[in-house]
Structure 1
Amino acid sequence: MTGSTIRVSRVYDHEPHPGRSVLVDRVWPRGVRRDDLGLDEWAKDVAPSPELRRWFGHDPERWEEFRRRYFAELDARPQAWRPLLDAARSGTLTLLYGARDRDHNNAVALRDYLAARLAED
C-alpha cells in the first residue's frame, strides 16, 4: 500500500525510530531503560509464544519452520497484530526488537507477515 512503511530496528542501535515505534518482544531488552527507548507501545501479545521462542533459540537452521509456526500463532491472534497493521496503513511503523541476529528474529518475521497483509489490501 502506498505511503506505508514497516521498518525493523534493534533497540541497542540507538537510531531514530520514525513513525510509530513498537517493541514486539515478550521480554524487555536487557540493559535498556524504558525512558531511553522512546517507544509508543510495548506489544507483548504479538510476540511468539514462550514455547516457540525457546524452541527457535535464534537458530538460523530453524528459521523457516519458526516463521511457519509463528505465522500460525499470529493467524490465531488477529487482535494482537491488527493495531500494528492499522498503524502501518497510516504511515511508518518501526518494529523494535532486542535479539542479536538482525536477520532471524521475530520482528523480521512479523514485518513480513504484516507486509503480506498490506499487500492483500
Structure 2
Amino acid sequence: MKIVTKRIYDPPTSDDGYRMLVDRLWPRGMTKEKADLSEWNKDLAPSTALRVWFHHNPDLWNQFSKKYKEELEQQDLGKNWLKAHRQQAVITLLYATKDKIHSHATILQQYLQELSKKTKP
C-alpha cells in the first residue's frame, strides 16, 4: 500500500487511487464533483481544539506534530481504518492548506505508513 498526500485543489489523476479528504472542515470553494472523493474522514483529522490552537503557525509545528500523533494513538482509529482499506494499492490523503510542509496530512501519512508496517496481515 502506497500512501501519498496532495492538495485537494490539485486536479484528480488516475494515479490517486483512493482519494480521502482528511480535513475537518470542507475546503473553501471546492465542489463535491471537483473533489472526486472516495471518502471524507473527519475522524482522522486533528481535533477542532488542536487545529484552532495550531492555526498553521510554523513555530508551533513540533508541538502540534507531537499532540496530533498523541490524538491519533489515543483514538486508535488508524488501525481499524487501515484494516478496512488494506486492499487499496494507493491512498491519497487530501488537504486544503497551502503550506505543504506544515500540513497535518504529512503527519497522518507517516503515522499510517508506520501502522501499516506493524499490522501487515
Q: Same fold (TM over 0.5)?
A: yes
Distance 1:91 1:84, change over 3 A: farther
Name whichever structure is richer in helix by fraction: 1
Cα deviation, 1:28-85, whole Å, max 9, x if unaligned, reads 0000001111110000111101110011111112111111100111111123x23542
Q: Of residues 6, 23, 27 in structure 2, which corresponds to 1:9?
A: 6
Q: TM-score normalized by structure 1?
A: 0.88
Q: Which residue of 1 aligns with 2:24?
A: 26
Q: Of residues 41, 46, 49 in structure 2, which corresponds to 1:48?
A: 46
Instruction: Provide the aligned C-alpha RMSD in A.
Output: 1.6
CA distance in 2: counterparts of 1:70 and 1:37, whole angstroms: 25
Instruction: Give the count of matched residue pairs.
Output: 117
8 Å CA contact retained: 1:89, 1:118: no
Q: Which residue of 2 aligns with 1:78?
A: 76
User: What 5-or-longer segments of structure 1 have no aligned partner?
Assistant: none
Distance 1:56 1:88, change over 3 A: farther
Shift of 1:20: 0.8
Q: Hey, which bits of structure 1, 4+ residues long, moved more than 6 A?
A: none
1:39 equivalent in alignment to 2:37? yes
Letter in 1 for 2:62: E
